[in-house]
Amino acid sequence: EVQLVESGGGLVQPGRSLKLSCLASGFTFSNYGMNWIRQAPGKGLEWVASISSSSSYIYYADTVKGRFTISRDNAKNTLYLQMTSLRSEDTALYYCARRATPPGYYFDYWGQGVMVTVSS
Amino acid sequence: DIQMTQSPASLSASLEEIVTITCQASQDIGNWLAWYQQKPGKSPQLLIYDATSLADGVPSRFSGSRSGTQYSLKISRLQVEDIGSYYCQQAHSNPRTFGGGTKLELK
């Protein structure tokens, strides 16, 4: 059974940093592209960042480019999101999501999400 | 960026009713479109991909269609377990963008 378990969220002051983790199990992690997608309270879904299976291709939403860094450790089956210079508008539930088998870029498995609250 | 305009934003329907949600892409995305269902308090789940293909385990009362740059999700006979929010997503190019969502409630 595919499982994605996020951790590392919490309350953080504006301008500070936070690192999220997503532990994957039930599939060969190193074969799949991975993503972070967020959802502000009561709002819709916003794709944040993606990383290919071997970390060769990395993309970011303009809203986080230069502040967030996506990475992965295939030996540890773990995806990361390093968030710096956090803003109030980064407050959201952050989901880790697996890219479905190509060619389409869809998200076939999602974690339960981890809450990040940016507030003084 | 490709904009996905989803409508309606909210919808109230009765059990067994036919429900249709639409998504308009701001440019040609071919069949590179998915639909997701998000039940209250849960993570989104993939319903349909490639505009018309049903994901594993999704009931056959769900279907997707395309007309040009307009995409539709249809629920043929609404069930209580279908209540929640629905989102379209374009898979044509980065950034991967979602529609604003449709909140489906029971009448």
Q: Are strands A10-12 and A114-118 parallel, antiparallel or unpaired?
A: parallel
Express each pLDDT in A13-68 by its tens digit.
Answer: 999 999 999 999 999 999 999 999 999 999 999 999 999 999 999 999 999 999 99
Cβ–Cβ gap B101/A44 under 8 Å: yes
Q: Is B17 an 8 Å CB contact of chain A?
A: no
Question: Residues B40-94: pLDDT tens digits?
Answer: 999 999 999 999 999 999 999 999 999 999 999 999 999 999 999 999 999 999 9
pLDDT on residue A102: 87
Q: Give the pLDDT of residue B30.
A: 97
Proportion of chain A above pLDDT 90, given as a percent? 97
CA distance A113 to A20: 10
Using a CB-CB distance cutoff of 8 angstroms, which residues of chain A are in contact with residue B43?
95, 110-113
- In whole numbers, what is the pLDDT of chain A averaged over residues? 97
Q: Is A46 on the interface with B (CB under 8 A)?
A: yes
Residue A12 has pLDDT above 90, yes or no: yes
List chain A residues with CB under 8 Å of B36.
45, 107
CA distance B102 to A75: 39
Peptide linkage before B95 cis (omega within 30 of 0): yes
- Chain A residues closer than 8 Å to B50 by CB: 104
Residue A93 has pLDDT above 90, yes or no: yes
| Residues in chain B within 8 Å Cβ distance of A101 | none
**B97 has a chain A CB within 8 A of its CB:** yes
- State the pLDDT confidence band at A95, using cuts at 50, 70 and 90: very high
Q: Residue A18: name the closest of A96, A91, A102, A95 by CA.
A: A91
Run of H or E residues at B47: strand B45-49
Nearest to B37 by CA among B90, B104, B96: B104
